[in-house]
Structure 1
Amino acid sequence: MASTPDSQPGSAQAVYAALRRRFSDGVYAPGQRLTETVLAADLGVSRTPIREAIGRLLTDGLVVPAARGVAVAALTPGEAEHLFVLRADLEALAAELAAGRQAQGRLAPAEVNALDRAVDQVESAVKAHDPRASAQANLALHRAIGAAAGNPFLEEALHRVWDRIAVTTVANLDDPHWAGAITEQHRAIVSAIRAGDPAAARRTAKAHIEAAWSAYRPLA
């Protein structure tokens, strides 16, 4: 299949997607200043698509204006609380819908098995004491559950919430007490989805995010 202009590595869309992945992966720290020149050099592209991508990141709330560039947005405690309240309900709904699809026979076995593997990957990264790998694997699991819900509008809303929170996830998964607890919680969510039990999936997913909020350490 021929690539479209937006799929070319140097296109504004491709650059925007690459930068969003970097935010999700915790590459940038809250308050870190980002300039067009540095980002263009990092990604090996011209400054024009960087400039367009930064405009979209400003709209997304992932960066804020700063001297000679932008800075990575840092969540205030109040903003973080609002996001986690929203996230708890969105992720609870995603798990509920995924379990409902499983009960209806609409969730492929490969999708359910992929959730189990994703849990294993989080556990392996946590045991390796690798906060960044843990954060990446954790987000991959939550994205997989969001995709399993089968609702693209819900998934889009979740992506926006995840990206705002992801910049601090690495530091939070460096907490051994919280990192050690998440595997059991993840397995409970996936077990409920596999069992096709929407009520249990909703309950365990919401409890997991509420526990995440209790362990959350905002960065400034």
Structure 2
Amino acid sequence: GIGPMKGQFPATLSHGLRTPLPSILGFLELFERRTLGPLNDVQTQAISVVARNARTLSRILNNLLYLQEVRSGDLRRTEVSLHDVLRGLLAEFQHAAGDAGITLSASLQPAAVYHGDPVGIEQAMRALIDNAIKFTPRGGKVGVILVDEPSRAIVRVQDTGVGIPPESQEKIFLPFYQVDDTLARPYPGAGLGLAIVKHVVEAHGGQVSVRSAPGRGSTFTVVLPRSP
């Protein structure tokens, strides 16, 4: 009947969508490394374009499938060091920020261990930092701040980017929402990152908010309450 199918469909869909991508990306990497033979300049450029778009597709797909998991309420709580998560992500994003001509800085208090879902927390923090870098022009700055308080942990991601119009500031946390076509066009993605942030944070009993203005950057604030 329909009942069993509803439970099986996401898992079947997830497997079906995930399976082809590793082989596609694997063969593209072999081409990029010239393992399968030499390439001329036109072929090299074509492979580079295909590989870049395949990786974008992979990120979108992973975000879509992860959002499905979060919505199902499947959290696995354990001890998480927010300090270590953010420090690892900052190291991971330094190269991308440098390539984009953006200064990435941090002020991280050595927060006490937080009881939460480590995968979800990392995905949410990654989405916030990625979003800030993506919408900050060359020469701009992105800062990550972690404040440790007895009853809660606060994470702020600040940028000097393009900013968000007031009428869009509630909608940006909806899946697939883009501020507008003109703004979104240079930035590949499906508008899932901030939806993941909202669902993960709220699943932990927390809140996410944004303070922004067009041309004046944005500050995203995540408040995660500690378990009583």
**Interval containing the TM-score (normalised by the shorter chain):** under 0.3
Which protein shows a greater Rg? 2
Structure with more strand by fraction: 2
The one of the two structures with greater contact order (alpha-carbon pairs below 8 A, sep at least 6) is 1
Structure with more helix by fraction: 1
Q: What is the TM-score of this pair, normalised by structure 1? A: 0.27
Q: What is the TM-score of this pair, normalised by structure 2? A: 0.27
